[in-house]
Amino acid sequence: MVKHGQLLVLLLLAGLLSACPEKCFCNSKVVDCRGIALRNFSASADPDTETLFLDENSLLQIPRNAFKHLKSLNYLGLSTNRLHLRNYTFEPLLKLQALDLSANQLSDLRGDIFGQLPNLTWLNLASNRLQRLPIVRPLAKLTYLDLSSNEFSVLRDTFAHLPQLDTLFLNNNQLQSLPATGLDQLFLLGVLDLSNNQLSSLPPQFFNNHRKLTDLRLDHNRLESLSAMLFVRQHLLQHLTISGNRIVHVPPQLLGNLTKLSLLDLSNNSLALLPHSVLSGLGELQTLKLSGNFIGELVANTFRCNPKLAYLHLDSNSLSSLPVLEGLPLLEELGLSFNGLAAFPTGFADNLAKLKCLQVTGNVIRHWDTGMFPNTTSVLLSNNPICSASLPPTDLTLSDIVFHLPNLSPFA
């Protein structure tokens, strides 16, 4: 016979089970209906649900009042469906903080679509077909907006009503130019990704109002030159990537105010020369990527003002010789593959006490002195005309020396 207490537990369990939509997984305040081929959704979930996953289904639309009873919902995942949104779609989710609408083939958004979401802080619209954003009602709390992998070709003043935005992804679009004042209202912007577009130039004052930027990505555009004053107010910038462009010259003043910069990526451009003054103000720089350029010469004091540099990539340039590098007491990894190096100068490693990994694959080195790098534990020498007989076994102090093997570059 079932006791009164047991009966009560069974009734409670039955209530919980009945509040879970068919084929979905429910746990505490989470309802997971991902990937179950849903074509329709009705609000049969527990009213206390806070997280609802409806991703990877076949939803075409959300009926009016579908979320009427989910007044505690703060995360809603609707990615990878085929939704047609209406102004009423998200009524009345007043507590919703995060909304994922990525990969829905959306081509247009109505102006009031997010008007009933006053607490929205995180919005993902990536991988759709959007060409523009409507002038939406102010989303006063929105801090994160992902518009990557859409079809934007121009930017207008669609961001003027997002006063708290600090992260904006516009990568993988079709932007050909930027308006001089297009993002001026985003005073709190900290992360901006403009990579993989078709930008051929940047307005000289484009970043003037973005004094809180810490991460800026401009990779894989068509930039040929940069204004010397472009980053004059970015004192907080820590990561700057401009790889995969067509930059021939870096103005000496360009990076002068970036005193907190820790990562700089200028790889895969058309640089033939790197004036040492370009790096003179970067005392916090830890990673410098210059691979895939046409740099043919370095002077000894190029890195003298970069004492924290730990990773230096100079692969695939035109270096035929090297000076004794100065000012790199913390350097751990040095990439010099696919240049024209035949030898290292005497005393090259004297100032590189921390060097652990050296890559010189694909050069023209014929003789190797293992004693030159006594602290280095990994040297990649594949595709060099070195005769192994020139390395007496008793002199081998390196734990990992690789000869004539496929490129195993750790700097990819």
Which span out of 6-10, 129-133, 242-246, 345-349 was modeled with the highest average pLDDT?
Answer: 242-246
Would you say residue 68 has pLDDT above 90? no
Please confirm whether the linkage preceding 392 is cis (ω < 30° from 0): no
The C-alpha angle with vertex 78 and arms to 215 and 65, in degrees rounded to 5, equals 130
pLDDT tens track for 298-323: 988 899 999 999 999 999 999 999 99
Domains of the chain: 271-412 (3.80.10.10)
pLDDT, position 8: 34
223, 247, 257, 272, 373 from 226: Cα distances, Å: 8, 8, 15, 16, 38
What value does the mean pLDDT take over residues 218-235?
A: 95
CB environment 223-234: b (16+ within 10 A), e (fewer): bebbbeebbbbb
Neighbours of 8 (CB within 10 A): 11
pLDDT, position 354: 95
Q: Quote the mean pLDDT of the chain.
A: 87
pLDDT, position 92: 82
What value does the mean pLDDT take over residues 13-18?
A: 43
pLDDT tens track for 98-125: 999 999 999 988 767 888 899 999 999 9
Read off the tokens for 130: 């959007």
Would you say residue 6 has pLDDT above 80? no
Percent pLDDT > 70 in the chain is 88
Query: Strands, E, within 266-321: which ranges?
Result: 287-289, 311-313
**136 falls in which pLDDT band (50, 70, 90)?**
low
pLDDT, position 398: 40
Dihedral pair phi/psi, residue 83, rounded to 5°: -70, 145
What is the identity of the amino acid at 226? L
Neighbours of 364 (CB within 10 A): 14
Residues 6+ apart with CB under 8 A from 151: 129, 130, 131, 173, 174
**401 falls in which pLDDT band (50, 70, 90)?**
low
Dihedral pair phi/psi, residue 15, rounded to 5°: -65, -40
Would you say residue 395 has pLDDT above 60? no
Would you say residue 405 has pLDDT above 80? no
Question: Would you say 53 and 32 are in contact if contact means Cβ atoms under 8 Å apart?
Answer: yes
What pTM does this model have? Answer: 0.88
**139 falls in which pLDDT band (50, 70, 90)?**
confident
Read off the tokens for 53: 């996953």
**29 falls in which pLDDT band (50, 70, 90)?**
very high
pLDDT, position 159: 83
Dihedral pair phi/psi, residue 12, rounded to 5°: -65, -45
What is the identity of the amino acid at 300? A
Tell me the C-alpha distance between 368 and 129, whole Å.
56
Would you say residue 396 has pLDDT above 60? no
The answer to which of 83-92, 129-138, 375-384 has the lowest mean pLDDT is 129-138
pLDDT tens track for 332-387: 999 999 999 999 999 998 889 999 999 999 999 998 887 889 889 999 999 999 86
What value does the mean pLDDT take over residues 213-224?
A: 98
Percent pLDDT > 90 in the chain is 65
